[in-house]
Chains A and B, each alone.
Chain A
C-alpha cells in the first residue's frame, strides 16, 4: 500500500517536472515558479565576467570531487561537461558557465 502511495505521489511530481521545463507555444522558455531564482544572464559581451563566473562555478561544482584538469579541446570539453552534468547532477546554468570557462 505504501508503494502504491509512493507511485501515486511520484506521477504528479514527474508531470510537474516536465511541465516546468516545457516552453510556451511561441518557443520562449516556460514561466517557472515565482519562487524560483531568475537565471543569471549569459552575457557574451562581458567575456571577462563570464570567465570569472565560470571559474567560480567550476571550483564550486567540479572541485567538490576532483582536482582541476587541464583544458581539453572545445569539442571534447562539450562531451565531458555533458557527461558530468548527468553524473554529478550539476545544474544547466552551471554547466553552461563551466563549459564557457573551460573552452576559453
Chain B
C-alpha cells in the first residue's frame, strides 16, 4: 500500500498539469476578469529589478558584494503573467591585507506563469519562490529589506520550488482579508533549477484597520526522509506612527529560530524634516537553535549557523530618492565565538518598459 502511494505521489506533476488545464479552459471564469480590465490601459512587458553594492566587514574579513537582480514581467491578455527573476552577484573577499578574490554566481529564483482564474484563485506553474513565511517572497529584494543581512533562519524558509501552486487573497469581511498559497514541487537536481519534492501551504489573515497580519506556514518533504517544517509570521504597521514591526518563527529538522524587527521612519519629526523623513532606524533581534540534522551546504548564497546563535542588529537607512537607498548596519554575532559585523552599501530599484507606452 505504501509503495502504491509513493507511486501516486510521483504522478503529481501530471495532476498539476491536469488542474492547470482545467482552470485555463474553465469557460465560466472568463467574463469576470475580462470585465475588470476594460477601464485601464493595457499592460506592457517591463524589465524591473534592483542592483546594489554592499561591503561587509565580518570577523576580520572584508567582503565586496556587487549584485544585479533583474525581474522580467510579461503580461498576456487580461489574465496571464509570465514573470522571472534571476540573481547575478559576486563575492570578493580579503582578509589580513591579502588581495581580493572571489567568484561571480548566478541563480534563477523564479520563472513562472500565473493565470488569474478569478478573484479568489491564481494558478501558478513553473519555478516559483517557495511560499513559507513572508521574508522569502515579500521582503527579500535588497531595495525592500530594512537590513541588508538576511535573518539567521532564512535558509530554513528560503528557496524555490518547481511545480504548481494555487494562491490568492480575498476579503473575509470589511475588516479582514485572507491570503493563501498552497503548492507542490517535484525533485530537480539540475543546479540552476534545483528543487525538492514536497508540498506545503501558507495562509495569513490581514486585519486592515489595525494593519496586523498573522499567518502560518507548513511544508512537508517527500524525499527519502519526510520532514516537516512549520513557520509563523506576524506583521504590524500601527496606523498613527511610521513604524513597521515584523516577526517570523520557523522550525524544521535543521533547527528553529525567530527574528523580530522594527523599523521607524522619522517622518513625523518636524526639525530637519527634509532629512528626517528620508531616514529610517532599524533594530532586529534573532536567535537560531541548531537542529538534529545539518542542512547540506549547496554552495548557495546563504547557510545556517553551525551552532546555537543569537544576533542583535541595528541599521540606518537613508532614502536618497525613489528607489535609491543607502544603508549601514551593525550586528553582533553571539555564538560559540563572538564578533562584530559591519555592512554598508547602496541599493537601487529600476523599471523600464519593453514596449511602446503610447500616448499618456
**A interface residue numbers (CB < 8 A to B):** 3-4, 10, 14, 17-18, 20-23, 27, 29, 36-37, 44, 60, 63-67, 69-70, 72-80, 82-83, 85-94, 96, 99, 103
Interface string of B322-345 (1 = CB under 8 A from A): 110000000000000000000000
Contacts A23-B32, A36-B171, A79-B45 given: A60-B353 contact, CB under 8 Å?
A: no
Residue from the list A27, A89, A93 in contact with B168, Cβ < 8 A: A89
Residue from the list A72, A75, A86, A96 in contact with B114, Cβ < 8 A: A86
In the docked arrangement, what's the CA distance between A64 and B208, Å? 11
Q: Which 10 A-B pairs have the closest CB atoms?
A: A21-B118, A89-B169, A89-B179, A78-B43, A22-B28, A92-B119, A79-B43, A74-B41, A70-B322, A75-B41
Q: How many A-B residue pairs have CB under 8 A?
A: 151
Chain B residue numbers with a CB within 8 Å of A94 are 177
B272 within 8 A of A: no
B116 within 8 A of A: yes
In the docked arrangement, what's the CA distance between A89 and B208, Å? 14
Chain A residue numbers with a CB within 8 Å of B182 are 10
B170 within 8 A of A: yes
Interface string of B34-47 (1 = CB under 8 A from A): 00110111111110
The segment from B56-64, B137-145, B185-193 that touches chain A is: B137-145
Chain B residue numbers with a CB within 8 Å of A65 are 138-139, 144
Most central of A17, A76, A80 by chain B CB within 10 Å: A76
In the docked arrangement, what's the CA distance between A89 and B131, Å? 11
Check A91 against B138 for contact (C-beta < 8 Å): no
B302-324 CB contacts (< 8 Å) to partner A: 319, 322-323
A15 to chain B, nearest CB (A): 10
Check B29 against A83 for contact (C-beta < 8 Å): no
Check A60 against B46 for contact (C-beta < 8 Å): no
Check A99 against B40 for contact (C-beta < 8 Å): yes
Contacts A66-B144, A75-B43 given: A86-B118 contact, CB under 8 Å?
A: no
In the docked arrangement, what's the CA distance between A75 and B73, Å? 12
B19 within 8 A of A: yes
B21 within 8 A of A: no
Chain A residue numbers with a CB within 8 Å of B75 are 78-79, 82
Most central of A10, A14, A75, A82 by chain B CB within 10 Å: A75
Chain B residue numbers with a CB within 8 Å of A60 are 208, 211
A31 to chain B, nearest CB (A): 13
* A and B contact pairs by CB, cutoff 8 A, 29 listed: A14-B166, A18-B29, A18-B118, A18-B121, A20-B120, A21-B117, A21-B119, A36-B172, A37-B172, A37-B173, A63-B237, A69-B323, A73-B353, A78-B40, A78-B44, A79-B44, A79-B75, A80-B46, A83-B81, A85-B116, A85-B122, A86-B116, A86-B122, A89-B167, A91-B177, A93-B119, A94-B177, A96-B36, A103-B41
Check A76 against B44 for contact (C-beta < 8 Å): yes
- Known pairs A37-B172, A86-B114, A92-B119; list 4 more (Cβ under 8 Å): A64-B138, A65-B144, A75-B41, A91-B170
In the docked arrangement, what's the CA distance between A92 and B169, Å? 8
B339-360 CB contacts (< 8 Å) to partner A: 349, 351, 353, 355, 357-358, 360
Chain B residue numbers with a CB within 8 Å of A44 are 39
Residue from the list B31, B124, B169 in contact with A91, Cβ < 8 A: B169
In the docked arrangement, what's the CA distance between A63 and B213, Å? 13
Most central of A73, A80, A86, A99 by chain B CB within 10 Å: A86
Check B360 against A73 for contact (C-beta < 8 Å): yes
Chain B residue numbers with a CB within 8 Å of A4 are 5
Check A69 against B322 for contact (C-beta < 8 Å): yes
In the docked arrangement, what's the CA distance between A70 and B28, Å? 37
In the docked arrangement, what's the CA distance between A86 and B353, Å? 20
